[in-house]
Amino acid sequence: MNKLKVGIVGTGNISGIYFQNGKRFDSMEVVACADLDMERAAAKAAAHGVRGCSVDELLAEPDIQMVINLTVPQAHAAVALQALEAGKHVYSEKPLATTREEGRRVLEVARSRGLRVGCAPDTFLGGGIQTCIKLLEDGWIGTPIGATAFMMGGGPEGWHPNPDFFYQPGGGPLFDMGPYYLTALVALLGPINRVTGSAKISFPERIATSKEQFGKRIKVETPTHITSVLDFASGPAATLVTSFDVRGGSVLPRIELYGSEGTLLVPDPNTFGGPVRIRRASAGDWSDIPLTHGKFENARGVGAADMAAAILSDRNHRTSGEMAYHVLEAMFGILDASEQGVHYAMKSTCQRPAPFPLGLADHSLDG
């Protein structure tokens, strides 16, 4: 099978799993990597048997057809635009951009050049959420009515070696973890019509307790507890709460879907596996559902591999730039709605991504 030749820009911690899974799927081959830190790029290149080079050299390489953009969020749009201008398809880590204007620009340039944009998260392509999509499509809980989703934590300053950016604009729990939850909900229920929310900064200052920055004071400049309501075009209404302000722990589920005939417990959307549980209206208790799909271990990069397969076979890819922009707009819309005391009407929409067919081999992405 032909493989799309791919270059990775950004060789930080997350790049390791992309290198690893680049060899797992049969649609792409990682052939080069680049970073502003040339020593780090060279080390990663040597470790994974690819070429190490500068960003400019990678973008000028004619054999490289797609760029996987693993830079810091503030650089996502700039690097994506560079890659598109160089004639490369681009797949980015989340978020697509840090402003709506940048996100729209990335999509506009891609369309004008006949190129594709894809974006993480791709965890909804794992066996857990793909099983939930299958259950929904087969009518196990009837007509979806609503959903609740919770990401409740105490913040990263206790463990992260550099937690400052989590508390700056473009950070916070909504922009850090919200893309996993919103993308999963869109994959399950389709696009969003409107949003509203209430957002606050509960603690104006954080104190780092990680070994690297113990005792450092961090000024909080973005909301850290956000309660939002999402109205979906298909009918259901959902509540999403994301928080870095939960000091005593939480036992709330990650995502629950409510239907006319039962309830579906969806697994953590930051993972690829289960558990998946269901309770139908006529049942006396919950049932554990075996996963119907594979890719339930750490398959980060499956979205990029699916995009590569889609380019080769000329079909739609599942982690589309349009869906990533829709999620980005929803997050900004929630904050706008809180600030203005209104509902925010979504201006974008997207296609609900096609589910994987049953029976795929672990390395395959097409039936």
Active site residues: 94
With contact defined as beta carbons under 8 Å apart, do 130 and 355 qualify? yes
With contact defined as beta carbons under 8 Å apart, do 90 and 69 qualify? yes
Structure tokens at 171: 């950070």
What is d(CA 255, CA 10) in angstroms, rounded to the nearest whole number? Answer: 32
The one-letter amino acid code at 122 reads D
- Please state the separation of Cα 320 from the chain's center in Å: 11
The one-letter amino acid code at 363 reads H
With contact defined as beta carbons under 8 Å apart, do 65 and 6 qualify? yes
Bridging pattern class, strands 225-232 and 192-200:
antiparallel
Nearest Cα neighbor of 36 from 78, 97, 4, 87 is: 78
Burial of 271 (0-12, 13-18, 19+ CB in 10 A): middle
Angle, helices 127-137 vs 178-189, to 10°: value is: 30
What is d(CA 363, CA 146) in angstroms, rounded to the nearest whole number? Answer: 34
Nearest Cα neighbor of 27 from 291, 361, 353 is: 361
Bridging pattern class, strands 117-119 and 89-92:
parallel
Angle, helices 100-113 vs 321-340, to 10°: value is: 160
Determine the straight-line distance between the first and last CA of the chain, rounded to whole angstroms: 14
